[in-house]
Amino acid sequence: EIGSRACAARARGVVGVCTTPIEGSAPRKSGPFAAGWAAAVGYARVLHRRVAPARPQRAGSNKNNAGEDAGDDEEMPSRMDSFRFGHAKHSESRVVYVTADASAQGPNAGFRFKGNAISTGKYSPITFFPKGLYEQFRRIANLYFLSVAIISLFEAISPIKPYTIWSPLVLVVGLSMAKEAVEDYARHKQDHEQNTSLTERFNGTSLVQCEWREVKTGDLVRVVRDQAFPCDLVLLASSLDDSVCYVETKNLDGETNLKIKRGVEGMGGVGTGPEKMRELCGDGGDAYVECEHPNNSLYTFTGNLDVPSRTREVSVHGSSRNLAAAAEDRTGSEKISLVPSNILLRGSSLRNTEWVIGLAIYTGHDSKIMMNSSAAPSKRSTIEKGMDKIVLSMLGLLCLMGTITGIICGSWIKNVSPKHWYMDTSDTDMVFDPKNAPKVGVVAFLTSYVLYGYLIPISLYVSLEFVKVCQAMVFLNSDRQMYHKETDTPMRARTSNLNEELGMVHTVLSDKTGTLTCNSMEFFKCSIAGVSYGEGITEIERSIAKRQGRPILTKPTKPIEPGFNFKDARLEGDKWRSLPDAEHIRDFFRILGVCHTVIPEGEATRETICYQAESPDESAFVVAAKRFGFFFKSRTTSGMELEEPSYHSSGEISTVHYELLNVLEFNSTRKRMSVIVRTPEDKIMLYCKGADSVIYDRLSHGNQKYTDVTHQHMDEYAKCGLRTLCLSVREISQSEYDAWNVTYTEAAQSLEKRDEKLQAAAEIIEKDLFLVGATAIEDKLQDGVPGTIEQMMRGGIAVWVLTGDKQDTAINIAQACALIRDDMDVHIVNIEELVKQEHDREITRAQFNEQGKAQVAALIEAGIEKEAATAKKGIETCLVIDGRSLSFALEQDLAPRFLQLGSGCTSVVCCRVSPLQKALVTKLVKDSGKITLAIGDGANDVGMIQSAHIGVGISGQEGMQAVMASDFAFAQFRFLERLLLVHGRYNYKRISKMVTYFFYKNLAFGLTLFMYNLHAAASGQVVYNDWLMSAFNIFFVAFPVIALGILDQDVNQRSCLQFPQLYRQGQQNACFERRVQAGWALNGIYIGMVTFFVVFYAVHGGEADHPKGHVFGLWEVGTSLYTGIVITINLQMAQMINFWTWIQHVCIWGSIAFWYIANCILSNTDPYLSTYSYKIFIPTIAPTPKFWMATPLIVVIGLLPDLLYRTSRRLFRPEPHQLVQEYERMVRGTTPRSSVTNTPMDTPRHGSRYGSSAVLAEEGRIEVDEPEEGEENIEPEEPTEPEEPAEPEEPEPNEVERSDEEAPPREAEEEKKADESA
């Protein structure tokens, strides 16, 4: 009982915050800076507190504390022992002891931490076959064929030899499992390379080399330059000053810029030698880390390091001294807050630093990178889901046919078979026992279940996977027009499952910054103390004026240096010192130079310094401060140094030091960032920058001079398309800061809800601010964005832009991007007046919620009525809604009406939205049944990308998180035009034709088996050779459909971009709708029935088949039937193909030729293997003229109706793509071929003049590679004699009628005539 109580008490003591000071020690500031600074900057300064271990006091004791402590030492086990007993096992925190003892008796042994060896393989040698087989037979088709193969083992039931069923099943499943095995072997090989990589760990006496898998939790690990970190480490010491190091996280999050990490303050002595390491390890229980349990959050960490005071050093204004020199008798321990910048994550590598020493806290599968390795949400295309329904339908048809067969067989055996005396059915087994008709019917059903299995295409999944991989890896990834030369970024299809879904997109939801714009920020204008500064016209203004036909006389200005494009003589040099509000101007410049998380690199001169910033706008602010004279030079442990002009003297430049006390970092919830510094004037100042919506709420009342005029300036900047931020300042007294710092320190050291407590502490100090001014940053549009959006909208794709910008900024950028045109009606949903009333405290929050929801509901209803009225007039509508209104619109009762309004609009602009709202809007549109595509470039877009049907990531300035979460990735928004209108449309039509054709051919083939079985009294007799039946789906008809899925084009690439209206076929699912599927099914039924009846009742109706009077037997007639089916089905493919290449010729004619070759081989093969085909073809069938004459007759009768239907449909009710085909043919007849033939990737010289890439290439704004001589085409080009595809659709004549503005420019009069005729 005593032991249990002691364990629980000790556990609570570890979890709690130790606050008892050492007797006689001076109070010391606690670690506010550590937690606040860490996440945003990768930089920490932990001001520490010296504490003694907390001792729980037993109830009812009147002894003094000293005596009680002594009693505790005698009665209670140590803290290490208490955890070893298991009482800490269920603790809310994780405790890791610093130790060199990794044995079973070590202090960490009782926690059973995971080892550092990893295994990312899907299978092991033991689980490969059972798990692999399970994965394969999860597919309905494979499971069905397994059941057929099992039934085929019973010869009394199966009409087919077992090996002819098992062979193709084993082949298909084996190929899939072999692919899995190869991929999994590569994973295991990579795991082995990582597990056997070398590093160094402390063994108690020295650092020794070991493999990664030998590292244990609690070890001290040394990593040298350019090595990867073997596990998640707490950085203690490094070779650089202040224990900093540089880390590359490219393999972790895709970002290539180096990040700076800071060691735990005071622990730098660990790097001086083994003695210090041994001192830190102590007896195995002196130092420990208490932190959160393993999780998958890469950018957060909560924990404390508890170390003996004797092992720490303290940094005082940049200099270090050993604490042992400060006091002769030092006992107790110190608790230090650990923050994300102290953590070195597995998956990242050490750069520009000779060595680091860290403490292993998360090893193996507990490391954050492994916790993030779970598979992304599985996405399946609409066609793939429809394909599963067809498989189930075919399975139902098979069961129906089997039931009919069983009934007929049972009835015939019972009622008819006794009349045929020669069959002697009275002396048979149960298979044909006339006395037990139900049992005969059941056996006949099982026999049919096996025989009719060819209705289900066993090779469909394998063929489809092969085709999709080719589409993604060969065509998408190799498209040179989606390659960005400036950043050397090619197109990357990260999955092949959604290729055809790209051709069915209804709605594109896009981020703005970095997606539509370059995310290359330039400081352009500013408002300081109520005065606006800055000259020039933004690119957004130029673009709007150009679209409206207004001339602009001024030329665009080039930036003075990257990030700075500001011109105003009033602020040049030191002229600002003579202005009336010079003090406020100085505060403005100081905020730019101090309130940031930038890391300077290189030589500290104005010309050579390089700033490492987490966002482009932060870099622009620091560069602007430098240009204004406030040069940020360096960052130290205690703060930062700036060169700035003296304010009171002659303005001479001097280097000053700002002591950095706290950093309250920026996040999407706070929408602001603050720093608390001690200025050179020895004042404690809070500098804050953030969105106007949050800064204005925190301004002091009564002493503001510039709020109204600054707000007016920001509105003007927003209309120019500039991004604005407010800058504010507050002076804090020493007493107020000391009181607040206690609260902040407790929050920083808390292990539970640390982020919430830190935000609450920040709210206390971020108040009563004084507004100094506002900044205006220009983010220029990417090349080709307006043209791409216009093309998508012409193709019927609605575009939604979700941005955090102000409404005016969003509207102006939408106008520049062609989202809002002059001929459109704009409906705005905004409750700005209510927001202002709430801000001015005229209404309460409850009143705001009630009135806001009612007002938003009324605006949505008005928008629906307006949209319906304008639609009747042929006018398009754009919806603009702000974030506060959107929060109401997304509520459950308003969401359907909001979706109805948005769906009726051509474009939607949502401004002031949060990352969560982006994901919610995307999910709302997705749940409506429309195919959605989300595109973004930053971490705040990940939720939106993963919520959509298709996610596209842009590799831009905000890291690679969006790319890593996406399905497709490229570098520029303009590539989306080609991805959807060309590749997406092609892939949709190819896959839909491929799937429907697969079921068509199998239905036709299976019906011949069904009809002959009925012809043979449902006895289960087969008409084909077993091997030939198994080879039907694998050899004789498989390759042409694969070629179709990879290469077919109904129109050339130029026309796809010239006529984006063609994309609407995919949106309407015109090639895979129920009517199309039914049409193919009827065609398959017709082919099967006609072929059977022509062969059995016309060609071989009873007269002699051979000149010598011989009559064909069962297998000869079956060969004729098989020949007719194979040739008819292959030539049906020839009627479908729009684009012929030598590959199609080889596949179609080669498949037919292979059929004859296979018969010749089987005819001369041993009867045991060839079964019923032995001596059938060569000696009997081949010499018979009737066989050769009958085959063309069967083919003509089978294909003639389809040919007549296609021809009449093309002549009298043509589809849009058929009109374009005629246009292409006419252009080829009136224009020299070189002027209309596309290059391999549709380069502008010979390609589209309508795609934005081609237009930009002609203008010289982008560069597109020309194909070299003899270079192989990456995609097939224009068709020669296009044939009509099989899918019927009602034509929309207006879809391809082009206005004069849409018509491509012609250089010859003949082309104009051809255009008019088309």
* pLDDT value, residue 957: 60
What tokens were used for 1100? Answer: 């071989």
Phi, psi torsion values for 690, nearest 5 degrees: 180, -175
Look at residue 515 and tell me whether its pLDDT is greater than 60.
yes
Beta bridge partners of residue 935, listed in sequence order: 510, 952
Q: Which residue has the higher pLDDT, 830 or 1232?
A: 830
* pLDDT value, residue 1093: 93
* pLDDT value, residue 1315: 46
At 18-40, the pLDDT tens digits run: 333 333 333 333 333 333 333 33
Q: Which residue has the higher pLDDT, 435 or 1122?
A: 1122
* pLDDT value, residue 728: 95
- Between 215-229, 352-366, 954-968, the lowest mean confidence (pLDDT) is in 954-968
Beta bridge partners of residue 356, listed in sequence order: 223, 238
Q: What does the mean pLDDT of the chain come to?
A: 79
* pLDDT value, residue 668: 67
- DSSP, collapsed to helix, strand or coil, labels residue 1188 as helix
At 449-497, the pLDDT tens digits run: 888 888 888 788 888 888 998 998 889 999 999 999 888 889 988 888 8
- Between 400-409, 415-424, 738-747, 795-804, the lowest mean confidence (pLDDT) is in 415-424
* pLDDT value, residue 241: 74
Q: Is residue 78 left, alpha or beta, with left meaning phi > 0 and alpha meaning psi from -120 to 50?
A: beta
Beta bridge partners of residue 547, listed in sequence order: none
Look at residue 1236 and tell me whether its pLDDT is greater than 90.
no
Q: How far is CA 301 from the centre of its chain?
A: 25
- Between 591-600, 1098-1107, 1124-1133, 1153-1162, the lowest mean confidence (pLDDT) is in 1098-1107
Percent of the chain with pLDDT over 90: 35
Percent of the chain with pLDDT over 70: 81
Label residue 552 by pLDDT band (50, 70, 90): low
Label residue 1157 by pLDDT band (50, 70, 90): very high
At 60-80, the pLDDT tens digits run: 333 333 333 333 333 333 333
Give the burial class of 602: count Cβ atoms within 10 A of its Cβ; 0-12 exposed, 13-18 middle, 19 or more buried: exposed
What is the average pLDDT across 1119-1133? 94
Pairing mode, if any, of strands 631-635 and 639-645? Answer: antiparallel
Angle at 796 between CA 790 and CA 801, to 5 degrees: 60
Look at residue 900 and tell me whether its pLDDT is greater than 90.
yes
At 1240-1258, the pLDDT tens digits run: 333 332 333 344 444 334 4
* pLDDT value, residue 210: 94
Which residues, in sequence order, are CB contacts of 1226 under 8 Å at separation 6+?
1314, 1317, 1318
In terms of average pLDDT, the best of 30-44, 125-139, 522-536 is: 522-536
Q: Is residue 935 a contact partner of residue 950, using CB atoms and an 8 Å limit? A: no
Look at residue 905 and tell me whether its pLDDT is greater than 80.
yes
479 is catalytic: no
Q: Which residue has the higher pLDDT, 375 or 472?
A: 472
Q: How far is CA 56 from the centre of its chain?
A: 51
What is the average pLDDT across 1275-1297? 38
* pLDDT value, residue 385: 85
What is the average pLDDT across 663-669? 79
Q: Is residue 340 a contact partner of residue 39, using CB atoms and an 8 Å limit? A: yes
Label residue 844 by pLDDT band (50, 70, 90): confident
* pLDDT value, residue 70: 34
Look at residue 561 and tell me whether its pLDDT is greater than 70.
yes
What is the average pLDDT across 1278-1299? 37
Q: Is residue 1024 a contact partner of residue 479, using CB atoms and an 8 Å limit? A: no
- Between 97-111, 394-408, 1019-1033, 1145-1159, the lowest mean confidence (pLDDT) is in 97-111
CA–CA separation, 389 vs 412, rounded Å?
Answer: 34
What is the average pLDDT across 764-779? 91
Look at residue 1317 and tell me whether its pLDDT is greater than 50.
no
At 292-309, the pLDDT tens digits run: 899 887 778 888 998 887
Q: How far is CA 265 from the centre of its chain?
A: 38
At 600-639, the pLDDT tens digits run: 877 888 888 888 777 778 889 999 999 999 999 988 767 8
Label residue 233 by pLDDT band (50, 70, 90): very high
- Between 5-19, 1036-1050, 1108-1122, the lowest mean confidence (pLDDT) is in 5-19
* pLDDT value, residue 423: 75
CA–CA separation, 22 vs 53, rounded Å?
Answer: 10
At 46-58, the pLDDT tens digits run: 333 333 333 333 3
Only one residue has tokens 């005698």, namely 74
Catalytic residue among 101, 511, 779, 1050: 511
Q: 290 to each of 301, 302, 362, 672, 889, how far by Cα in Å? A: 11, 9, 12, 30, 44
CA–CA separation, 271 vs 265, rounded Å?
Answer: 13
* pLDDT value, residue 99: 87
